[in-house]
Chain A
Amino acid sequence: MSSAAVADTDEPIPPALRIEGLEHYYGPLHALAGISLKIPRGEIFGLLGPNGGGKTTLFRILSTVLPIQSGQVRIFGTDVAGDPAAVREQIGVVFQSPSIDTKLTVRENLRHHGHLYGLRGAGLDVCMDAAMRRLAIRDRADDVVEQLSGGLRRRVELAKGLVTSPRLLILDEPSTGLDPGARIDLWRHLESLRTDDGATILVTTHLMEEAEHCDRLAILDHGRLVAVGTPSELRTRIGGDIITIETSEPEALAPLILDRFGAQASQLGNLLRIEHSDGHILVSQLVEAFPDRVHSISLGKPTLEDVFVRETGHRFWEDA
């Protein structure tokens, strides 16, 4: 455990991760604009946001590669800026781009990785075996990585992260390049890691469906956390239903809807979006009231994408 000098004093058992007032600049670009966040132990936490929203910067700071400019980050109570070596001992990092050596075998990759964490000999063999068994790659142990398929390589990548039994596993876009089946497997592995080993898991993602797997989520946009909560909490922030209207004259239609039905419609391109508690009734009223202006209309339960739109004012894939 961490020494008294760097330990949290306000809580007897510090959380897996505590971030306070974290800011980061790249020259004039404000990549992180004051982030505060607490992740309790044993949680699967998702960091959701579009590319360029600050996810990568936050990931690099948490993985100790990027120095902290302003603010504080503590991992299991240890200050990342004060004692990065102690933090490195406790975390496992799975990068978006491959970090396994394709010229080496699976076993060689894991062995080198174990050595970097001071593991060796029979103890290391046990850890490697457990990690390979967990990801069902033990029969490929002596294959050179370049002979493996993309999905298998990703499993090796994850196994490498598990060799050192990290208490906090940080994964950057872990499902990049995985087919849907492999994606489901990945989440099964992550959930078992949390349940069986009590590990805390932090995942960055730009995939909405992936975010649904997390216990809690933070939405990061323009370097700010715009919402934090469980997926269902975030969805219930939106009252009731979501009505989406496709129209050629959104500017003209929005005030008419407000006037007549008292419903606030937000515009996204040629779409109007309305949150409403009794969506099904309003839909028929809208169609009757504006038959010429409504090209199409749809009714749905709020998704995380709706939450994102509400909190950021722009669509997920749109360049802001």
Chain B
Amino acid sequence: MMSAPANRMLLAAYTLAERELVRFVRQRNRVFGALAQPVLFWILFGSGLNASFRPSGAPDGVEYLEYFFPGTVVLVVLFTAIFATISIIDDRNEGFMQSVLVAPIPAMSIVLGKLAGTTVLAVGQALLVFLVAPLAGIELHAVGCLLAIPLLVAIAFGLSGLGFVIAWRMDSTQGFHAIMTAFLMPMWFLSGAFFPLAGVPTWMSALMYINPLTYGVAALRQVLYLGASQPPAAELPALWLNVVVIAAFAAAMFGLAVTATSSRATWGTGE
């Protein structure tokens, strides 16, 4: 039996997560934003660069379209996290979140509800992208796809936690857009999603190695090619390290988000 406070915490988190899912289903345009856009990027960049770009260190036969695939999956997760957390800003000042903040629930419920709901949406959409992989000639194996799920959960949880922390400090969605362009998108570009770690200038390599998303993308690559005779790309960190880093990232973002929410005062404090 769980204690009453733990029950209350989970009931609140559950109801907030459920709201995220129902809202998503009723807003069809969000499906396009988070899912169609990365897939379109994948098809356009992948096909366009296929002829002139050969991933360094990749085994023969791995074409750019294939190299770019795990990165596309992570981009779907990133976009879902961004769309889900940017809504916090308006929601908190003139929306549903106002009454959540005065409800007798711990900060952890608020964060857990948002992050869990977003994670379900992100992983669900990422798995939809797996379905189109065979159309592009990419062979995915059932075991690899299954192992990818917990990884995607950790990546989605971490990225939505990061989005939560950023959104919580913002007064306006414009501010969030600026952060997205100047920080979140570069974070994805420098994760090995778009081009490999091998052969980049030293300064860039350093940035890529301190980027937690690098380890998430690498782990996803390794898991999807589990059992393949050759590594999917050169110079990837070890799988165990990737898993540890991405799990730590998710835990840290969750902690930061809970800390931010503990002070419920909104930032625009002027009357």
Contact = CB atoms under 8 A, between A and B. Distances in A.
Interface of A: 26, 29, 31, 51-52, 54, 56-57, 63-67, 85-86, 88-89, 91, 93, 95, 97-101, 103-104, 108, 111-113, 115-118, 120, 144, 160
Given A100-B96, A103-B22, 16 more contacts: A26-B270, A57-B271, A63-B102, A66-B265, A85-B104, A86-B104, A97-B93, A97-B94, A99-B97, A99-B98, A101-B19, A104-B19, A112-B18, A113-B103, A118-B8, A120-B11
Contact of B103 (A26, A86, A88, A98): A88
Please provide the 10 A-B residue pairs with the shortest distance between their CB atoms, ordered closest to farther: A97-B94, A115-B15, A116-B103, A88-B104, A99-B99, A99-B98, A101-B96, A89-B104, A103-B26, A118-B8
B114 to A, nearest CB: 13
A277 B90 CA distance: 53
Interface in B1-55: 7-8, 11-12, 14-16, 18-19, 22-23, 26-27
A98 B23 contact: no
Say whether chain B's binding surface is mostly helix, strand, loop, or mixed.
helix
Contact of B98 (A29, A95, A115, A144): A95
- Residue among B14, B19, B100, B266 having the largest count of chain A Cβ atoms under 10 Å: B19
Given A67-B263, A88-B102, A93-B99, A116 B12 contact: yes
A183 to B, nearest CB: 21
What bracket does the count of chain B residues touching chain A fall in?
Answer: 20 to 34
Contacts of B99: 93, 95, 99, 113, 116, 160
B101 interface: yes
B4 to A, nearest CB: 8
27 contacts: A26-B270, A29-B270, A64-B102, A65-B102, A65-B266, A66-B265, A67-B263, A67-B265, A85-B104, A86-B104, A91-B102, A93-B99, A95-B98, A98-B95, A99-B95, A101-B19, A104-B22, A108-B19, A113-B99, A115-B11, A115-B14, A116-B12, A116-B100, A116-B104, A116-B105, A118-B7, A144-B26
A117 B100 CA distance: 10
B264 interface: yes
A66 B97 CA distance: 15
Contacts of B97: 99
B174 interface: no
Contact of B271 (A52, A101, A113, A117): A52
B8 to A, nearest CB: 5
B269 interface: yes
Nearest to A57: B271
Nearest to B270: A26
A101 B23 contact: yes
Contacts of A29: 270
Contacts of B8: 118
B19 A65 contact: no
Nearest to A105: B22
- Residue among B19, B27, B96 having the largest count of chain A Cβ atoms under 10 Å: B96
Contacts of A91: 102
B22 to A, nearest CB: 6
A85 B265 CA distance: 15
B264 A64 contact: yes
Given A85-B104, A88-B103, A66 B269 contact: yes
A116 B95 contact: no
Contacts of A89: 104
A81 to B, nearest CB: 13
Given A104-B22, A112-B16, A65 B265 contact: yes
A93 B210 CA distance: 45
A85 B11 CA distance: 16
Contacts of A86: 104
Nearest to B18: A112
A127 B97 CA distance: 22
Contacts of B101: 65
Contacts of B19: 101, 104, 108, 112
A88 B102 CA distance: 6
A108 B21 CA distance: 13
Interface string B248-271: 000000000000000111100111
B102 A108 contact: no
Given A67-B263, A93-B99, A95-B98, A112 B15 contact: yes
Nearest to B266: A65
B261 to A, nearest CB: 12
Contacts of B14: 115
A95 B271 CA distance: 15
B91 to A, nearest CB: 9
Contact of A103 (B15, B23, B271): B23
B107 to A, nearest CB: 11
A91 B8 CA distance: 17
A181 to B, nearest CB: 25
A56 B95 contact: no
